[in-house]
Amino acid sequence: PDRHSSYGPSLSNDDTNRPRRPNPETLRYLYSLPLHETDLQTNDEEDGGDGGDNRLALSMAATNALEELYEHDLASLCCEERSSQILERLIRVSSAQTNTNTSTTATTMRRVLVGLQGYHAFLSRHRYGSHVVQTVLHGCLSCWNAPLDADEDGSLPALHTLILNASQELLGVDLLDGMKHVCSSHVLRSLMLLLGGMEEVSDGPGPAKKEFRGGHSNSKKKKKKSKKKFIGGFEEDQVAPRRTTLKLVGAVPELQTPLWEVLDAIATHYRSSNSGDVTELICHPSSGPTLTLLLRILS
């Protein structure tokens, strides 16, 4: 059986493009990059105040690497576990200096979106590719206020145009099945936030379901005691789902249109269906949160 069958409905080969296998030389180049995302967390005071310069250098190195990979088949690199993880790291590091380099970050995100063009639908349901697509969409939001003509040579389409193209691919193929797919549903949520120009901010863990531990367990030692993680003073298995709020980054009316079309498509489909189908969509562990987020954004 297909090892990914439990993720949700899959797309047939006739429904979407499938990337070819990555070039071995491109993989060797990708694996040789001396880039460590943890270096971005360096404290300025710990390294004599050069932390900002180091992070900027890493960000530029990641940007240059993505520019090199832009000439190759980016989508094929998303389908391998190791290469997809490196791509995610490059995208995150490249967008880490958004406050000082919005135009450069926007150009990089546009290159990546162009590289994935035509493969968004397939990658959204791929075990590894879905994470890359999510990271790109989040990176686009980080440079939301960059000029549309940020690229120097004018060869790249506008950022908003590329986002609309990606949304057409992601929302145009079996939308309802995609909402129920474990991987695709997360991609759709990232896309909805991007189209709405919003960022989901965590308010911390929800209220404890059981007794408050204060971050430490006061129970007497037992012969076999398993280690427990504590989140915000609560045991990991006692924490309710995290609470989030939506922060407006910048609304673009033309990008919000697909969100209303999605809601209309869902309503049209279920208007003639029985209540059981609607209940399934709302109560499904993947489509339920996706539909909830859509309504929160539009409200």
- Indicate if the pLDDT at residue 208 is higher than 70: no
Identity at 172, one-letter amino acid code:
G
Retrieve residue 11's tokens.
């797309």
Residue among 114, 117, 21, 105 nearest 63 (CA): 105
Retrieve residue 235's tokens.
């045991």
pLDDT > 90 fraction of the chain, expressed in percent and rounded: 40
Strand partners, 230: 235
Retrieve residue 82's tokens.
């190791």
Report how far residue 187's alpha carbon sits from residue 88's, in angstroms, rounded to the nearest whole number.
14
Report how far residue 168's alpha carbon sits from residue 164's, in angstroms, rounded to the nearest whole number.
6
Q: What is the pLDDT of residue 2?
A: 40
Task: Give the chain's largest Cα–Cα span.
Answer: 68
* Range 125-154 average pLDDT: 81
In the block, which residue shows the tokens 């094929």? 76
Q: Phi then psi for 201, rounded to 5 degrees?
A: -110, 130
Report how far residue 237's alpha carbon sits from residue 94's, in angstroms, rounded to the nearest whole number.
35
- Please, which pLDDT band fits residue 75 given cuts at 50, 70 and 90? very high
- Are the C-beta atoms of residues 72 and 21 closer than 8 Å to each other? no
Report how far residue 54's alpha carbon sits from residue 17's, in angstroms, rounded to the nearest whole number.
39
- The pLDDT tens digits for 221-270 are 555 555 555 444 444 444 455 678 999 988 888 899 999 999 998 888 88
Strand partners, 245: 201
Report how far residue 112's alpha carbon sits from residue 233's, in angstroms, rounded to the nearest whole number.
40
Q: What is the pLDDT of residue 83?
A: 94
Q: What is the pLDDT of residue 106?
A: 87
Least confident stretch, 19-28, 103-112, 229-238, 277-286 = 229-238
**Ramachandran bin of 118, using left for φ above 0, alpha for ψ from -120 to 50, beta for the remaining angles:** left
